[in-house]
Amino acid sequence: MRGKMLLKGKVFLDKMMEARGKIASKGAERLPDGARILVHSRSRTVLATLKEAHKMKKRLFVYVTECASNDSGRVMKKDLDALGIPCTLVLDSAVGYIIEQVDLVLFGAEGVVESGGICNKIGTYTIAICAKMLNKPVYVLCESFKFVRMYPLNQKDLKDEFKVSLKNCNSKNDFFMTDFSLLQYHASTLKKVEDLSSVHPLVDYTNPSLITLLFTDLGILTPSAVSDELIKLYL
């Protein structure tokens, strides 16, 4: 039994890495030389895409939001520095100020829902709204195994497990070192009158009208095409 589980895990890992490689290749080709790019939080797929574009000798400059809920933006900046990609860290609250200077926005995703919208690190929705107002393209880089059969219409529709309190975390400075067994899960935070400082959601929902294109291992999709791909995956 253990051997079968390990084999299945290896197969999944291989497929995941293959998918990420396809996305990175497609995404890097579409990034214009000299582009100024805004990224949010830390996404391995976004990082792989920027790395691939750097290998193509494309001159890029990346603005990285700090993502204060878990400081994952700081980790992303360290990764970009290690690759030799010029970048700078910006305050989450400075997105409206900095968005004028960027050419495009790149997001990863925790999940892509049936409408073509995405669930991603808290702050994604705010950035997408700013980008829409200034006609900046928003590209999502995400593997197809993250496509989920959900249809949220707003933030209140996100499932309970996305409403996470950081109050009892061992370390809020490093999301990847968090002991998730200590997290407190709260149902429908926005439906209650509570002190939000003790119940910070880690993700938000960004609707498809704010997304330009999704780069996936299935191809480059418009948000409206996601539902068709989901049907194929689940049939």
CATH number of the CATH domain containing 33: 3.40.50.10470
Residue 90 lies inside a defined structural domain of this protein: yes
What confidence tens digit (pLDDT) does each residue in 176-185 have?
A: 444 444 444 4
232: left (phi over 0), alpha (psi -120 to 50) or beta: alpha
| Choice between 106 and 194, residue whose per-residue pLDDT is larger | 106
Residue 173 lies inside a defined structural domain of this protein: no
Q: Whole-angstrom Cα distance, residue 77 to residue 54? A: 15
Q: What is the pLDDT of residue 175?
A: 42
Torsion from C-alpha of 61, 27, 113, 160, nearest 10 degrees:
-40
The number of folded domains in the chain is 1
Section 100-122 average pLDDT:
94
Mean pLDDT check: name the lowest of 42-56, 78-92, 190-204: 190-204
| Choice between 97 and 160, residue whose per-residue pLDDT is larger | 97
Mean pLDDT check: name the lowest of 50-64, 107-121, 165-179: 165-179
Contact 140, 111 (CB under 8 A): no
The residue assigned the tokens 């100020």 is: 97
- Assign 13 a pLDDT band (cuts: 50, 70, 90): low
Mean pLDDT check: name the lowest of 82-91, 108-117, 134-143, 147-156: 147-156
Q: Whole-angstrom Cα distance, residue 138 to residue 38? A: 10
Going by the DSSP 8-state scheme, the letter that residue 65 receives in this structure is E
- β-strand pairing of 118-121 with 104-107: unpaired
Section 119-140 average pLDDT:
95
Q: H-helix or E-strand containing 63? A: strand 61-65
The residue assigned the tokens 């919208």 is: 117
Q: What is the pLDDT of residue 47?
A: 96
Q: What is the pLDDT of residue 171?
A: 45
Integer CA distances (angstroms), 190 to 39, 120, 149, 161, 199, in order: 26, 17, 22, 13, 10
DSSP-based three-state secondary structure for 7: helix
Residue 160 lies inside a defined structural domain of this protein: no
Q: What is the pLDDT of residue 172?
A: 45
Q: Whole-angstrom Cα distance, residue 75 to residue 3? A: 34
Tokens of 46: 């976004």
pTM of the model: 0.81
| Choice between 137 and 1, residue whose per-residue pLDDT is larger | 137
- Assign 164 a pLDDT band (cuts: 50, 70, 90): low
Number of H helices, E strands in the chain: 6, 12
β-partners of residue 38 are 63, 105
The residue assigned the tokens 């976004």 is: 46
> Percent of the chain, pLDDT > 70?
76
Nearest CA among 149, 147, 76, 120 for reference residue 210: 120
Q: What is the mean pLDDT of the chain?
A: 83
Residue 98 lies inside a defined structural domain of this protein: yes
Residue 174 lies inside a defined structural domain of this protein: no
Section 203-218 average pLDDT:
94
Residue 17 lies inside a defined structural domain of this protein: yes
Question: By residue range, what is the domain housing residue 113?
Answer: 2-154+204-234
Residue 190 lies inside a defined structural domain of this protein: no
| Choice between 195 and 104, residue whose per-residue pLDDT is larger | 104
Residue 186 lies inside a defined structural domain of this protein: no
Q: Whole-angstrom Cα distance, residue 104 to residue 135? A: 9
